[in-house]
Structure 1
Amino acid sequence: MSTAPRAVLAQLPRAPGVYRFRDARGRALYIGRATDLRSRVGSYWSDLRDRRHLRRMVPQITGIEAVVCASVHESTWLERNLLERSRPRWNRAVGGAEVPVCIALTRVNGVPRLTVVHWPVAGPAAEVTFGPYLGGAKTRLAVSALDRVLPLRYTDDRLAGCQRDLARVRGIDLADREVLLTTILAVLHRQNPQIDAVRDQLADLRDRAAGRLAFELAARIQQEIEAIDWVVAEQRMTAPAGDDAEIHGWADGLLVSFRVRGGRVCGWEQRRCARADAQPYLDRTPAAWAEFAARSAELGGRLAQPGSMP
């Protein structure tokens, strides 16, 4: 196995993102995602463990490229989008196993309900949808978390039997419906005060369960907390509906370009060029993407410095 490219690894941040390996002919060998770019990329030169099939790829790597993402969720979407358009030789699958879903707000007999539906959304239109998110299981856990601390189902004026008794024990009735719904919508709209309040309530329930030695329940609530973090994480790589766009950033003689189609960032290219040649591309970059493009180009320029690979 080849020597670890320490100069490149030192430039990689400890942040979520997507990385790409290239060979001496400039061909893409592999695209992957990481929670910690430096740790994940460095692992290819240490212990591949369950990725033994990649051992023959590592000596062929002569270039490392990377993009920093705002969250692990965002990096998961970017990896998926890129692999759906072009899959390098050493990638076994098009993307992760996560299923794209949305959270839909519907009303049954006037009572609001949250349900997880496949994306793109088909069938009768919901009152509002949130997402898309990658991972049906995680998204359902997030809905379960919201129901645990903001139980809209108990605001139904037609409850019977044990459901009515549970609503009474929880101190919830029809009058609480709009307050609960407003808080849920604020969480799904990524408003931090409401997110923090829900997370704190869940953490309290988890700790109380653990204190009663109800460790399975405590573990379930912990999973729900992590699921809430997943669905509220910043994610711009896939929008529910969006225009086409070209995103460009330049630094240290390197032009980094991203292609957006239908709201999905699905292309990523890099090439050497002078600032004057890059300027027309930079001028076309939407202002909302300018910071992301500049940051990506700065990292790309550092990773592409001569002598950074063995």
Structure 2
Amino acid sequence: MPTAHAIQATFDDLGTPLSGVTFVVVDLETTGGNPRSNRITEIGAVKVRGGEVLGEFQTLVNPGGPIPAFISVLTGITDSMVASAPGIAAALPAFLEFAAGSVLVAHNAPFDIGFLRANCAELGHPWPGHQVIDTVHLARQLVSRDEVPNRKLGSLAQLFGATITPDHRALHDAQATVDVLHALLGRVGNLGVHTLEELASYTSRVRPEQRRKRYLADDLPRAPGVYIFKDDRARVLYVGTSVDIQRRVRSYFTASEHRSRMAQMVGLATSVTPIVCATVLEAQVRELRLIAEHKPRFNRRSRHPEKGVWLKLTVETFPRLSVVRETRDDGAEYAGPFGSRAMAEMAAAAVHEVVPLRQCTKRLSATTTSSSCALAEMGRCGAPCTGQQSPQDYAQVAARVAEAIGGDARPLVDDLHERMRRLCESERFEEAATVRDRMLALVRAADRAQRMAPLTASPEVVAARPGAVGGWEFVCVRYGKLAGTTLSPPGADPRPYIDALVDSAEVVARPVGRAPATHPEETEKILRWLETPQVRMVRIEGEWSCPVHGAGEVREQLEPLMSRVDNGFETSATA
């Protein structure tokens, strides 16, 4: 009988070697972030195999309508540039032909592939079913926070020394993504990943030490609440919340957990403490309070709510904007809170772009005068310090700002839009982008203050929502703070449960100033719950009203246009 010889399998036997895969790296520019309501304005793509560029594809696309000023600022693509460009009906088939038989690569692939799929469906083209590699997802596994502050394309391109600097033009960004892809493939190759199949499954690998700790979830309750990971010295490592504590904690030891820092956290954890809550809202609020109290090293959000600042329109003869740490009952208008002083200063700068409000910090009176500053000479201040502007005339200027912060934000935002339009026409896109960012900082803060004000001022609000398995969820809120919550069983008379909730709820003292009796993030969480469908107000002690044309209306119009700008090509982590 002939002797059998063992034959070592090659990489070709195990899968498709990465050196033989044809990748098409694609990037899109669009009129906004929603593929259902926004349009593609540019397609750029690079075809590579084995580290060699095989071809490039680039075309502007006529979106069939005006490009918002926000997007022109971001991309530099204007209506005149796309006027003679082909429509998507011609551009998309040309791209699909270029990409045929390849593996598609994109930075934040759900965005770009989502637009391509949506346009295929709209035009009646079948989606070719390309395999997709997302360089954002890959970078999260391979690039640490010590190397870059985030996984945005610009940050990674700088880290890896890309030959092209991404600038929100489709081909340039695709070319930069090619360099990022090759650098990531080099790193993953050093970890033993050499085939397309291994690359596709790489992010699903679970470390043995991570899998071994599944026992930590064995005795946890199958109920809504908060879970706290602790180390061997009982220090809080991470706080989370779930509608099913046991199922959520188990997921940290499986392939469904992709975040590298969570694997590090699990490696340090020796116990998990559950806190069962009556309602999901109670669990969310407890999570916020525990994170603020313990500041766990593996929680990124909500660790320092006490550092919030406000933008105040002062109460003076000649009011000005001031960044303050706390609010008072002094009749002033406040916007915020902001997460940082820098954001508050951006919002103030937005006002100063279009309103000649004084920017000096000295206290002025109607009877004393001093020399004017450079802003007055530039026409950006009425110079009340010199007596050139009376308190009555200046009051009209200040009233515009007060109305934008506490009432109708539309006139000031219209002025900012006009300022952006003029800058874009002059091709001063960087300055227009600065105005855009300042405007959104102002609108977000004004909306936040306007929405929180009624709840903050109400001594008591009791609301109800149908429970997930019948009955009702009840919450009691006092001065913006969750004071208590309870459930009533299906079929039971809810009134005794409401009375018991109110009687047993936490006594909350009226806060000083405009801020709620708790961290503003908690009040915002409660507001989102109150604004959900099916919530019913049971009783309100106080007055609940918001401006008809307040900052919230303007924010709803601006946010969709800013979605891609805020994401910066990267879908943010949720924890």
Q: TM-score under structure 2 normalisation?
A: 0.34
Task: Report 1:237-252 matches (<5 A).
Answer: 242-251=458-467
State the shift of 1:189 in Å.
1.2
SS at match of 2:415: helix
**Range that drifts further, 179-188 or 202-211:** 202-211
Paired with 1:50 and 1:253, the residues of 2 have a C-alpha distance of 39
1:119 lines up with 2:334 in the alignment:
no
Q: CA 1:23/1:141 → structure 2, altered by over 3 Å: closer, same or farther?
A: farther
Q: Which runs of 5+ in 2 are unaligned?
A: 1-219, 228-239, 243-254, 503-526, 537-575
State the shift of 1:83 in Å.
3.4
Paired with 2:301 and 2:483, the residues of 1 have a C-alpha distance of 14
Alignment check: 8 A CA contact 1:246 1:260 kept? yes
SS at match of 2:319: strand
State the shift of 1:150 in Å.
1.4
State the shift of 1:217 in Å.
1.8
State the shift of 1:117 in Å.
0.6
1:292 lines up with 2:524 in the alignment:
no
Paired with 1:132 and 1:170, the residues of 2 have a C-alpha distance of 27
State the shift of 1:247 in Å.
3.4
1:204 lines up with 2:418 in the alignment:
yes
Other-structure match for 1:302: none
Other-structure match for 2:343: 138
Paired with 1:226 and 1:253, the residues of 2 have a C-alpha distance of 41
> In proportion to residue count, which structure has more strand?
1
**Range that drifts further, 159-168 or 201-210:** 159-168
State the shift of 1:115 in Å.
0.7
Task: Report 1:1-310 matches (<5 A).
Answer: 24-29=222-227, 30-31=240-241, 48-49=258-259, 52-53=262-263, 82-87=286-291, 92=299, 95=302, 97=304, 99-106=307-314, 110-119=317-326, 121=328, 126-136=330-340, 137-153=342-358, 158-160=370-372, 162-167=374-379, 174=389, 176-191=393-408, 195-233=409-447, 234-236=450-452, 242-251=458-467, 253-261=470-478, 263-266=479-482, 269=485, 271=487, 273-281=489-497, 292=530, 295=533
Alignment check: 8 A CA contact 1:138 1:230 kept? no
* Greater relative CO (CA pairs within 8 A, separation 6+): 1
Alignment check: 8 A CA contact 1:256 1:296 kept? no
Work out the percentage of aligned pairs sharing the same amino acid.
17
Alignment check: 8 A CA contact 2:358 2:383 kept? no
Q: Deviations over 1:144-191 (max 9, x none)?
A: 211221122189864525333112898996254122111111111132
Paired with 2:398 and 2:535, the residues of 1 have a C-alpha distance of 42
Which of 1 and 2 has greater Rg? 2
Q: TM-score under structure 1 normalisation?
A: 0.57
Q: CA RMSD in A?
A: 4.7
Q: Deviations over 1:100-153 (max 9, x none)?
A: 223323256x321121211255xxx75514255242333332222112211221
Q: Which runs of 5+ in 1 are unaligned?
A: 1-21, 33-44, 68-77, 299-310
Paired with 1:268 and 1:249, the residues of 2 have a C-alpha distance of 14
State the shift of 1:205 in Å.
1.4
Letter of the 2:407 partner, please give it. R
